[in-house]
Amino acid sequence: MHKVIIHEVGLRDGLQMESEPVPTITKEHWIDQLIEAGVDIIQLGSFVNPGKVPQMADTDDLFEIYNSPGKKQGNTLFSCLVLNEKGLERAMLCGAEMICMGFSASQTHSLKNTGMATEEAAARIINMAKRAIDAGKTVQASIQSAFGCGFEGDIEEDRVIGYAGQYIDAGVRQISLADTAGYANPLKVERMFSAIKKIDSTAGLACHFHNTYGMGLANCLAAMNTGVEYFETAFGGLGGCPFTNLPTGNVCTEDFVNMLQEMGLRTEINNDNIAGIAKYACGFFIKDVPGHLYKIGKIKH
């Protein structure tokens, strides 16, 4: 089995739907726990307009904190999300090591999310990706609503694969398919990632699944079996895109790690740390979060 790389997006996608602001010091505690747990990549936030997404107002501060000598530790990589050229400039100034960006295969979702039609958004993101690659950054480029759209329903698979081919032609080496609406199913996941591998078998593949219809872990397993290496998940199963029709949480990090460990994979990750963050989030937001492991604990052998 190839290496399964955990990309924790709880600090970004997990929090963007929450109305209760999370203080920077609380985020630091959660990030420190994730580093100690051995998570591979942590998305510290997104470089967006803080007036529209207040939870992301301290992204610049978090990069300054975690790029300082006292905080930089181990092999953890810190990523961010950017939506436009201004966000990319901020990410470059903050010294972000890994920059994620993308556009939506759904015209409706694209217009709601960015104010641009898909083709215009695609052209801008591809130019931004080239610029970041030329600057020596690790770039992950995604296609959102890749498996379907809450507004439009089915999205043509060939169209999505064509967009992936445009990324590959532009020199992007890591491509993500994001299931923004949670419409993916395991067979569709295998089919679409296999199609991208036929275009370029050396491209790094990433997935981002939402658990809208309870198929998140099944889709992750299908992606693993197709050779996908990077898995974007959020502690507690928090999250959701505010610009989709039915925003629901991400695949839960600690549940995904628990599945891996039951299969004998990634046993070095301290999953208790991650489940502990989910418990903390429950108390902070005064509600249950969607994950399972933090409520019932590990299987006893």
Does some domain include residue 173?
yes
161 in helix, strand or coil? helix
Q: Would you state the pLDDT for residue 245?
A: 46
Q: Would you state the pLDDT for residue 72?
A: 65
Q: Would you state the pLDDT for residue 75?
A: 87
- The CATH number covering residue 248 comes to 3.20.20.70
For residue 64, give the H/E element and its range: helix 59-66
**What's the half-sphere exposure (Cβ side, CA atoms, 13 Å) at 186?**
9
Does some domain include residue 254?
yes
Q: Would you state the pLDDT for residue 16?
A: 87
Contacting residues for 16 by C-beta, under 8 A, at least 6 apart: 46, 53, 55, 56, 239, 240, 241, 242
> Structural domain tally of the chain?
1
| Residue closest to 132 by CA, chosen among 57, 202, 82 | 82
Sites in the chain below the pLDDT cut of 70: 1, 72-73, 240-248
- Phi and psi, residue 234, nearest 5°: -130, 135
pTM recorded for the entire structure: 0.95
* Catalytically annotated residue among 220, 241, 252, 282: 241
Does the annotation count 100 as an active-site position?
no
Does some domain include residue 235?
yes
Does some domain include residue 202?
yes
Q: Would you state the pLDDT for residue 241?
A: 59
* Contact indicator for 140, 232 with CB cutoff of 8 Å: no
Q: Would you state the pLDDT for residue 151?
A: 83
Does some domain include residue 10?
yes
Does some domain include residue 301?
no
How far is residue 274's CA from residue 252's CA, in Å, rounded to a whole number? 10
Domain coverage including residue 150? 5-296
How far is residue 37's CA from residue 168's CA, in Å, rounded to a whole number? 33
Q: Would you state the pLDDT for residue 225?
A: 96
Q: Would you state the pLDDT for residue 17?
A: 85
How far is residue 146's CA from residue 210's CA, in Å, rounded to a whole number? 12
Q: Would you state the pLDDT for residue 244?
A: 52
